[in-house]
Chain A
Amino acid sequence: MTSLLATEDLTIRFGGLTAVDGFCLKVHEGELFGLIGPNGAGKTTVFNMLTGVYLPSEGTVHCDGRLVNGMNPVQVARLGVSRTFQNIRLFDELSVLENAMTGAHQHSKINLFDSLFRTPRHYREEKRQRDIAYRLLEFMGLEDRAGLAAKQLPYGHRRKLEIARALATEPKLICLDEPAAGMNTGEKAELSALIRKIRDELKVTVLLIEHDMKLVMGICERIQVLDYGKTIALGTPKEIQNDPKVIEAYLGGE
């Protein structure tokens, strides 16, 4: 199997702190891959390096065979990597539908004059974006909220909208940063079904950070565990659950 995403000895330092240290990751195409670890382990920092937000101090990131580090977030997005944020970052003043439409912006081929002069290309582009956005809102179960301002959404829906927006970029890989945080049990069950559907129906590879062990163990095929920036385990959910180092990290860590 080919790996869609591969990192080699990825390291980043903030002053004296080595937040991620020699991190190697291989995510195969079509996989549902989990990245877990105690608080402050460096998981979000890995996402930031994967998406061009942080420049690694050392090491490389390859996606689809192309070198990613050195690219800015916009270029990484074009390459087909999208993500959500641990601390939700929606466009609050835009409507739910418009939020999802912004994901489709990057594939638009029109220029400013098309929109200012309302050419047929403008209307075609609006329709294209609206169709994609609606389809994904429907997919995430948000279609009857389309007209609300994003800031009016309750918490669980905000997380879902972020996923819809990321999917609207039509990515090959989606990185979800604690999508279940703050959700109740029912919402979590619904979410894990949705994440599976993202991979099975939309054929998008999923890289998932999540603290809820039941959710991660339930849906991921492989899991990698980070602690203090270093990989301490990699394997199937079963292997991870019984790994003494992982148990130690979680019990001794907090």
Chain B
Amino acid sequence: MGRMIGILVVSLAVVLGVNWFLDSYIDQYVVRVINMCGISIILAVSLNVINGLCGQFSLGHAGFMAIGAYVSAWFTTTLRYFDEAQAKYVAIEPMFSSQWGFVPALIVGGIAAAIAGAVVGIPTLRLKGDYLAIATLGFGEIVTIMITNFETIGGANGLPGLPAYSNTFWIFAFVVIVVMFSWYLQRSTFGRALIAIRENELAAEVMGISASRMKVMAFIYGAFFAGIAGGLLGHLLQTISPATFNFMKSIEVVVMLVLGGLGSMTGAIVGAIVLTALPEALRDVESEIGLVGVRMVAYALVLILLMIFRPQGIFGQKELSLKLLGRLIPGRKSGNAGGEE
């Protein structure tokens, strides 16, 4: 535990330093891309616990994000509703009206999403594979439809005026937390239990591992951080609408995982960065050569090539380690005995 706190403090200090550096010296557009990468990392790493470790194919991540975004906005943003009696819009002042309220608001958003995670997790326990994917997709759609019909939070038009509380520091503070927790989770009896369920559910149950409990736990964990990511995104974009969290967002996160290698946290991080930064990099190329749309073609091409040449994703299920690096660097003989096929 002492070591954990040490790592956390050092990492947060580094994040603080990086935040200052980016703010002072780097172009705001680049900073924005970096921030978006951070949010993608939180999404991909948390979804990896559900889809990668536990093997439950969920397409509900955008729904959890939406809940986190709107619930946290509820605490930080001035809401307006139309009062019939006075025949005019009435403002509701936010509960937390300073920067100090941001983290509590994010956490409340995360908790709301986690509760939704339990609510989705329990009834979908009996579903597997495609059926689970469809049910979780349905959950995401229900969330966006409910938001659309809720005028106080902007309905279909979206909710403007979220304070710009998100910055590189907060985003990467949560990146550090989710990466650290997920790593610790993966390397614990709970992580092994999740992988056991993915590898062979019947054998896991016969060993006394309750698949239903572990699956709900995975959903709660993943949903919590998706909710946090939603809140961070909301306070970065400053305007959120149901369309921000439609099912394409869920699919985007799944694609990040598949690109990096389902089940590998390192893969999730790399996938998140590549798929967030690549479209931006290609945007420049696009304007350079004056061919609009090349971006999406190139994006699709990358995915198709990957599926052909490396269907298990960049990392497979491996984690980036010194051993793996040693093997990747040409000319350096790997001293690892267990790795041969």
Contacts and interface: CB of A to CB of B under 8 A. Distances in A.
A74 B200 contact: no
Contacts of A90: 199-200, 203
Interface residues of A, number: 43
B206 A115 contact: no
Interface in B173-200: 181, 184-185, 188-193, 195-196, 198-200
A78 interface: yes
A163 to B, nearest CB: 12
A77 B184 contact: no
Nearest to B341: A152
A241 interface: no
A148 B192 contact: no
Contacts of B317: 93
Interface stretch (B86-94, B136-144, B151-159, B207-215): B207-215
A115 to B, nearest CB: 4
B31 interface: no
Contact of A105 (B193, B221, B338): B193
B1 A119 contact: yes
A72 B206 CA distance: 9
Q: Which of B4, B181, B203 has the most CB of A within 10 A?
A: B203
B189 A108 contact: yes
A70 to B, nearest CB: 15
A91 B189 contact: no
Contacts of A119: 1
A117 to B, nearest CB: 6
B210 A98 contact: no
Contact of A78 (B184, B202, B208, B217): B208
Given A93-B199, A105-B209, A108-B189, A117 B263 contact: no
Contacts of B221: 112
Nearest to A81: B206
Contacts of B191: 115
A213 interface: no
Nearest to B191: A115
A92 B206 contact: no
Nearest to A115: B188
Contacts of B207: 77, 82, 102-103, 105-106, 165-166, 169
Given A102-B193, A103-B207, A125-B189, A117 B338 contact: no
B332 interface: no
B16 to A, nearest CB: 22
Nearest to B210: A74
Given A108-B189, A112-B217, A118-B1, A91 B196 contact: yes
B205 interface: yes
Interface string A90-127: 11111000100111011010101001111110100110
Contact of B190 (A76, A83, A93, A115): A115
A148 B339 CA distance: 8
A116 B206 CA distance: 26
Nearest to B180: A116
A73 interface: yes
Given A105-B192, A115-B188, A91 B208 contact: no
Contacts of A122: 188
A85 interface: yes
28 contacts: A53-B206, A73-B205, A77-B208, A89-B200, A90-B199, A91-B195, A91-B196, A93-B199, A94-B192, A94-B195, A98-B192, A101-B189, A101-B192, A102-B192, A102-B207, A103-B207, A105-B192, A105-B196, A106-B207, A110-B189, A112-B190, A112-B217, A112-B221, A115-B185, A118-B1, A118-B3, A129-B189, A165-B207
Interface of B: 1, 3-4, 181, 184-185, 188-193, 195-196, 198-200, 202-211, 217, 221, 263, 317, 338
